[in-house]
Every structure is written in structure tokens, then in C-alpha cells.
Amino acid sequence: MSDDKKKDDDKKSSGVGQKLFDARQILICEAIDQKMASRVVGQLLALATESDDDITLFLNSQGGHVEAGDSIHDVIRFIKPRVRIIGTGWVASAGTHIFLAVPKQDRVCLPNTRFLIHQPSGGVGGKVTDIAIQAEQIEIMRKRLAVIISEQTGQKLEQVMKDIERDHWMDTDEAIKYGILSKVIKSSSEL
């Protein structure tokens, strides 16, 4: 890609970002990592500093780094403005963790959204003692995330622990029944 083309793309992206920011809208449409979490947390904090008006977050993510998702989840709960989350595409893994940061009535999605809950995984390696420590930490994380899913969906903790043993995919009807989602919307007028 030429330098001029990259500059044009960056300018367009910056213009779209500013329009979204001005509309108090945030877009997550990528894997969850530390760089993305820094951007989203910064946007949330900046919008919260600007006013107490509602913030709308559009979420389409395959998941990613749990602690990066934790940062976004916790900041959503920390700030004063109400955050509404609209799922689109897929809301998976750490993406579901972010989705569950808001009260159920503020969790909606577009018609073709899929949801995934599962246990965390990690790239375990190193000495035997280090592997044991990492496995213990993954188990602690699994229980912590299961408690959050249970509290936010109304499912019994034992059921959530069973459901996250393997990938547990849900369509919109199943996500509503499970308690992840309040409703499916087709247009902005339904907000």
C-alpha cells in the first residue's frame, strides 16, 4: 500500500471514529487484546468525562485475552453513564464477558448474532511447576467467569460450569432463553 493511500485510509478512519465519538457510540469489531482494550477504555472514560448521557457500544468479537476483556467489563460498570450494548455478528468468549457488563435490559442484538460461552484457555508452557501454576490460575479464572455468567443470566452456577466445559454456541432465541440477551432488534428505532 502506498503512503498516500495509507494516509487517506487513516484520515477516513479517523473521521468515522470522530463521528462515532460525537454520537457517543463505540465500536468493537475485532479480537480483544490489550491495545484494543486501551482504546475502548479510553473512549469510555472520555465519554464519561464529557457527560452522563448514554453510551452505545456495538460489539462483534471472537473474543481474545480475558484480562483485556476484564478491563472493558469493569470500566463499563465503573463509569456513571448508562452503557447499552448491541451485539452483531458474533459475541464470543471474552466478547460475551464484555456483553454481560451491562444490565440485561441494556443487552440487545441484531438478528444474525451468535453467542459463545466456554472456559478460558491459555498457552501453557515452561517448567512443570510453572505449568501447574498456570493451570491453577486458569481454573481460578474459569470459576470467576462462571460466577459472572451465572449472576448476569440467572442460570445456576452448576449449570454454567457444565455449559462452559465445551464451546456452548447459542443463536438469539437460545441466548434470550439462557438470560444473556434481553431482545433482538432490527432497527435503531427499537432502542
Q: d(Cα 134, Cα 127) in Å, to the nearest integer?
A: 11
Tell me which residues are annotated as active site: 93, 118
Q: d(Cα 138, Cα 41) in Å, to the nearest integer?
A: 24
Contact 181, 109 (CB under 8 A): yes
Contact 55, 24 (CB under 8 A): yes
Contact 57, 84 (CB under 8 A): yes
Task: Compute the CA torsion angle 78, 81, 87, 92 (nearest 10 deg).
Answer: -10
As given in the structure block, the three cell numbers for residue 89 are 455478528
Contact 86, 108 (CB under 8 A): yes
As given in the structure block, the three cell numbers for residue 139 are 481454573
As given in the structure block, the three cell numbers for residue 61 are 468479537
Q: d(Cα 153, Cα 167) in Å, to the nearest integer?
A: 17
- Placement of cell 455478528 in the chain: 89
